[in-house]
Amino acid sequence: MKKVAVILSGCGVFDGAEVHEAVISLLALARQGATTQCFAPNVAQLHVINHLTGEISERESRNVLVEAARICRGQIRDVAELDAADYDALLVPGGFGAAKNLCDFATKGAGCQIQPDVLKACQSFANAHKPAAYICIAPAMIPLIYGAGTLATIGHDEGTANAIEAMGGSHLNCPVNEFVVDQERKVISTPAYMLANNIVEAADGIEKTVKQLLTL
């Protein structure tokens, strides 16, 4: 039975992990016979978004780890504790939290940096040559983890693709129901809600990605 670490970035598409992507990923992993452990950084969110109005809540702050615990029924650990030696693979769902809380791509673009505990955890899988999957906007972190020339996709958004290229990545356009694999580095990416119009379209690509992750 494969053990997969899942890094969440909060709870909610606009300021945390995309809930559909996270739940689809966890379900697909379970259906493929894998066990999972969720992680998140124990840090404050960049900001809190009112998901009803889309407005920033100026007087409110939330913790990424505490919010992410909502998705996995409280079964979550600080990402500072994550080491690839304890797991067979890694999966990182998207949502704006991946670009706001796991890194600062949302505000810095190609000049972004990854939160230190997240970077250390992700690099532990890269250095151990263990497979990893990045979903939606999370692949924007791939060049900083795996280095220049790594294949990745976020779909076909030109601005985001150009930023990934500027960071040293090699972006490939990809439809919503497929994925891109860098076989040498064992890293997979899929567009999900960067392109998906509904939960079914998001699930198509994620389920294929999970199957490929466990195959690797």
Q: Which of 72, 103, 112, 136 is catalytic?
A: 136
* DSSP-based three-state secondary structure for 47: coil
* Residue 112 annotated as catalytic: no
Tell me if 84 sits within 8 A of 124, measured CB to CB. yes
Beta strand residue intervals within 13-158, DSSP E? 35-40, 76-78, 89-92, 132-135, 151-152
d(CA 97, CA 80): 17
Tell me if 84 sits within 8 A of 127, measured CB to CB. yes
Catalytic residues: 136
